[in-house]
Amino acid sequence: MNILVVGVNHNKTPIQIREKVSFTESKKIEAVNYLLDRGIREVCILSTCNRSEIYIASNCVNDDINIVKNFYKEFFKLDNMDEYLFIKYGKEAVSHIYVVAAGIDSVVLGEDQILGQVKDALQFSMELGASKKILNKLLREAVTAAKAIKSELKISEIPLSTSYIGIKFLRERLGTLKGKKAFIIGAGKISTLSLRYLAEEELEDIYITNRTHGKLKKVCFEFPKVKTVKYEDRYEVLKKVDILITATSAPHTIITSDQMSKLNKKLYIMDLAVPRDVEKTVGNFENITLYDIDDLKKISEENMNKRIELCEKATKVIEQDVEEYINWMKQIKVDPVIKSLNEKCKDIQDDTLDYINRKLQLNSREKKIIEKMLGSALRRVIREPIRNLKEIKEKEDMENYIEVVNQLFDF
């Protein structure tokens, strides 16, 4: 028995191909039936926006690779699939799912969302009866390892988003954002993300504006307490707020020195736009402190390096977990032998008890004692051989011993 994974992911396959090979629930059911009907023992499909991977407990790796490759061609009607498919088997395949579940193979290094997606993939496969002893153990252990890594290393808690870093940066400069007033210019992704983070900071007021007012409707629906202002009134709003965050797509500056008035209170400006929204000389005004994307770039790079460092630690933890799973895989090869030995002992026990009961007049208590003593004695005979079989590390040695036991006991 071997572990095999075949599929596409963001490492090798462009999005225009990935989106064509994504699995809906109904497609997963069709795919599982297709693969099981062709002799594959166990199947689990992990399908996200960045990957569509088929995990298999394989009896014959080469045959099963061809089955899965043909499946992709027939199912998704893509003749050039071979150039996008990745194939891993054995220890490499086992390691892959551990790394995936821990978020180390994600576009955003160390993200947590994939962990839930792996759990869902396993649950779905189990409900279909497609995932059994081998894959159930593999994915459960991968999820358990990922949870431990998430809890101990907290990789995802190191921020990479400039919006989040910007808010955290301002909080550190001001001491607290609670009770402050903020003004956001822009209604795009960065501005909306900044607003979402600000909404968690217990500010007194948050104002927002955008050159095209229509885009603000969606933002206001999500954040009903946010106050919208006219774009042309932006300079007036600056007089009463503590923070300005701006992230528009304007090709020119939208806050200029010649339009700025003298301020009687401190104003911290975080310019997240490229090109910049705020004229550089605005930072020379009294009571104004101006930051731009370059001030955050160093923090973001440092945070990414921290994530990379933690992921390296996680990889070392995973290596040990992978070895444990590989050893378990080796040990289960002796399961049929152990089952046969136990059945042999049970047959001997039954035959012996039947003979004793025919020869001796025993009460129920005496029969029970003899049954237990006989069963215990027989188990002692096979206990050491079974333990020694399980402890054999080399695959070839184990297969040789299994063959010898089968011949000796005529299994």
Q: Which residues have a catalytic role annotated?
A: 49
HSE on the CB side for 27, CA within 13 Å?
Answer: 15
Tokens 């996200």 found at: 48
Residue 402 and residue 411 in contact, taking contact as beta carbons nearer than 8 Å: no
Farthest-apart Cα atoms in the chain, separation: 114
Residue 226 and residue 173 in contact, taking contact as beta carbons nearer than 8 Å: no
Residue 386 and residue 341 in contact, taking contact as beta carbons nearer than 8 Å: yes
| Radius of gyration of the CA atoms of the chain, in A | 32
**Tokens at residue 91, please?**
């220890």
Q: Which amino acid is at 385?
A: P
Long-range pairs of 219-227 with CB within 8 A, sequence gap ≥ 24 = 219/187, 219/192, 219/195, 223/195, 223/196, 223/199, 225/199, 226/195, 226/199
